[in-house]
Structure 1
Amino acid sequence: MKNFGLIGAAGYIAPRHMQAIKDTGNKLVAAYDPNDSVGIIDSHFPDADFFTEFERFDRHVDKLRRANHGNRLDYVSICSPNYLHDSHMRFGLRSGCDVICEKPLVLNPWNIDGLLEIERDTGRKVNTILQLRVHPAIVALREKVRSAGKDTKHEVDLAYVTSRGHWYLQSWKGDVKKSGGIATNIGVHFFDMLHFIFGELQGNVVHHSADTKAAGYLEYEHARVRWFLSVDVADVPAAQRLAGQRTYRSITVDGEEIEFSGGFTDLHTRSYERILAGEGYGLEDNRTAITAVSTIRNAQPVGARGDYHPFLKQVVG
């Protein structure tokens, strides 16, 4: 049994990490979040110590390490806001722990270089949650693409609208310096999935970039991809919106819809199982997707020109 610490215990994704720690037969020893709305811990690890001040969490973790206590941490799981991931991973590594970090791993590719140095210095490892890589439908599609031949270029359209209320732009998620912007915050796992399936990234054009939506074109070794991301409910297609739906996701490959809406409930547990078996995805596995979203964030949009996603028409008119 391994001992875990958790940073960001009040966040949206933290319960999935708690469940994965529990499902894999391990123990949450200590958790930290400046927000104290963390009653969810009682459903998983009611005996876990909890801190609202990072300094006290740090002191507790260090005390356990120095005493070689039975509750000394083996892993630190990180579910904090995106801009804090780098700092919290460094803390975990320097505390003698391996790290499990939510996506996006970091906001910029050069942050990966610094973390690689600390991995070498400490002998510990950063593992990342790239859960779409363990989704059965995505694994099957990757195998299908690989069998199609190395010169094949597939035509891919990706649209993801996950509507958010007015709170979104008032939170850290609406601050580009903290979240990385919409492509980073809600798109990075899709961009990693595309890299995983279709190979190395060869081209990156941004057609539109705003606080609530973005669109562009990516070219991979084996795909040409038009993408559209939004948190604006108005971008949900009319028929679905009239039916009360506030989320829309569509990925087509050569005109064929890829169905992978099911099978999401245990992907964090599967990821933890791989990590605990020494098969986790590390820092370099994230570089292509992080480079993509960093480029998108800093690019000058070209407007509705060239090969752009059809959903962009309703944005620009």
Structure 2
Amino acid sequence: MQTLYITHPACHLHEMGDWHPECPQRLDAINDQLLSSGIDGLLLHEQSTDATDADILRVHATDYWSFLKRSVPESGYFEIDPDTLMNPHTLDAARKAAGAGILAVDSIMAGHAQNAFCAVRPPGHHARPSLAMGFCFVNNIAVAAAYALEKYGFERISIIDFDVHHGNGTAEMFAGDERVLMCGFFQESIFPNVHTQNQPKNMLNIPVEAYASGEQVRKLVEDRWMTDLFEFEPQFVFVSAGFDAHREDELAQLGLVEADYAWITQQIVSVAEHSAQGRIVSFLEGGYSLSALGRSVVAHLKVLAKL
């Protein structure tokens, strides 16, 4: 079975101003690298469908979702915070971004694909149950994980977050849920400035000092994640794939390169093959140096697709 690549033109229409690093050109950069690397034709391609209100309300508060629907501007921008703005297309893009994960789960469970990558925006892992923040409006990975738990009755799933920023929204949504093991690393003392002391036992989100190298991060993954993941034996693995820990990315100060993302992805694949029949759904989160983003996504996809 092949790797499914899911995106939608609506994800290109959401934008927050020419100055904003979370821009439509991120998807263009990924597409360019898929074509130039020669792997585009080796992937299955699907367009996302909409997440329903019920899908979104599994993880978000009703009042919050109603607020977002009321706040879509007819033109220009509606500012939730200085970095998180809605344009007339944001809500449609957010529905498509969240719906990509649901389509991916159903496609994998139906045997149409082994795993999937959702090339969608806006990203999602900072979106809290009742708050948009950090460029995120709907928590795409949480929507998909909650859907999988409810529809397919999984007893154990893992969420792995390798974005340079802590996936605070995802952690808040699943803290204390014994069906979920979340493993992440993030650069400490940057947005969203979350402290991870006294985490619930199902949360393993580990701060990393600025300027840590790829080798240091690999050791962290090996020493801190892998034993817990293999012992937990997830039946499905979800990934918040942020590529902003790349050394070329100016929004943070970690030192990863494409080979590190390939190695991390291989560790994730090994967990999924051990207990989840290889089932993985990965979501684009951060990554703002366009060339590094495209190259890193290709490295991630090559491992997922065993190319």
**Larger strand percent:** 1
TM-score, normalised via structure 1 length: 0.28
- Tell which structure's C-alpha radius of gyration is larger: 1
TM-score, normalised via structure 2 length: 0.29
